[in-house]
Amino acid sequence: MAWTAHTIIQNGRAIPFEDARIHPLSVGLAYGAAVFEGIRAYINPATGRLSVFRLEEHLIRLDQGIKFMRFDDPPSRDVLRQGVMDAIMANAPDDDCYIRLQVHIESRGSMATTGTVGWVCAAIPRERSTKRESGLAAGVSSWVRISDNTMPARIKATANYHAGRIATQQAKADGYDTPILLTREGKVSETAGACLFMVRDGVVITPARDSDILESVTRDTVLELARENGFTTQERRADRTELYVADEVFVCGTGQELLPVTSIDRLAVGDGKPGVITLRLQAAYESVVRGTTDAHAAWRTPVA
């Protein structure tokens, strides 16, 4: 049964979901001074219990963003960890949930203002993609990926999603499900909201960390699962044309999970159906996030 979120945590206080407030002229909104994490918690089908997937890794990345943004007196990792747990427990979800944890500048001020810092944590239902089985139609975007010395993709800032949004809108206007973005040098980067993998001759390849990607928790998970499943992995720069000749392509991220890409620029990927290695990794991902395997128990934080 679909649950609804009725309570949100703002600056450590549980309040009705619709009552969360921030001033329209706050620096967080006016200049996009905000960093966030998208996290998922999954139900184990045998126990009916929820656990948060790779919570610590998300909290570490958020800390990196907070440091980079030079925020004054930010909430500690312990406070934010508790905020995630409180947001879930307050809503007593009976199904998987998606958690948005955001730290922003709450006060008004100039572009360079570094405080007052506020934070919010919401646990909400989120549908899974309808493209899990059929796969995505992707188009290589004419928009270029934001680069490290202008607007670093490594920092999960809300403002980065302006670039992702215009590429996504262009892709949809052109009839695709998702854009694939290239770096300024023309190498493959990622999509607007997920990392990208391809499979060539059985080797599982993903653009290297210096390809203007978000250092994705799911990407790291998939690399580990691929190695455990006996595949050779490569993190390296990748050419655009490799996308067209790859046997398989898929995207991954907390929100999108693991989705096959079945066409790029209207050219079929492989035989135009989700690839066998993609499906194997999708199944391995599903069992590790849900805890239907005992492997990687440390990746799952039980919700009390």
Ligand X SMILES: Cc1ncc(COP(=O)(O)O)c(C=O)c1O
Residues with catalytic annotation?
156
Q: Is 212 in the site for ligand X (CB under 6 A)?
A: no
Chosen residue from 218, 262, 282, 301 binding ligand X by CB under 6 A: 218
Chosen residue from 10, 102, 211, 254 binding ligand X by CB under 6 A: 254
**Of residues 85 and 99, the one with the C-beta less far from ligand X:** 99
Question: Distance between CA 166 and CA 181 in Å, rounded?
Answer: 11
**Of residues 7 and 187, the one with the C-beta less far from ligand X:** 187
Nearest approach in angstroms of CB 221 to ligand X is 8
Chosen residue from 86, 96, 177, 190 binding ligand X by CB under 6 A: 190
Segment interacting with ligand X (CB under 6 A) among 45-53, 123-131, 135-143, 214-222: 214-222
Q: Is 52 in the site for ligand X (CB under 6 A)?
A: no
Q: Is 253 in the site for ligand X (CB under 6 A)?
A: yes
Instruction: Find out whether 265 and 175 touch, Cβ atoms under 8 Å.
Output: no
Size of interface with ligand X, in residues (CB under 6 A): 14
**Of residues 35 and 303, the one with the C-beta less far from ligand X:** 35
- CA-based nearest residue to 103, from 117, 83, 89, 84: 117
Exposure string over 103-134, b if 16+ CB within 10 A, otherwise e = bbbbbebeeebbbbbbbbbbbbebeebebbee
Binding to ligand X (CB under 6 A): which residues in 53-82?
Answer: none
Q: Is 179 in the site for ligand X (CB under 6 A)?
A: no
Question: Distance between CA 41 and CA 2 in Å, rounded?
Answer: 15
Chain center to CA of 109:
30
Nearest approach in angstroms of CB 213 to ligand X is 6
Q: Is 38 in the site for ligand X (CB under 6 A)?
A: yes
**Of residues 219 and 300, the one with the C-beta less far from ligand X:** 219
Nearest approach in angstroms of CB 54 to ligand X is 8
Identify any residues that bridge with 3 across adjacent strands, giving them in sequence order. none
Binding mask 158-177 for ligand X (x = CB under 6 A): ------x-------------
Edge-first strand listing for the sheet containing 34-43:
13-16, 7-10, 117-124, 97-105, 34-43, 50-53, 300-302
Residue 15: Cβ-neighbour burial (10 angstroms; 0-12, 13-18, 19+): middle
**Of residues 88 and 90, the one with the C-beta less far from ligand X:** 88
The residue whose two tokens read 């948060």 is 52
**Of residues 7 and 36, the one with the C-beta less far from ligand X:** 36
Q: Which residues make up the interface to ligand X (CB under 6 A)?
A: 38, 164, 190, 193-195, 214, 216-219, 253-255
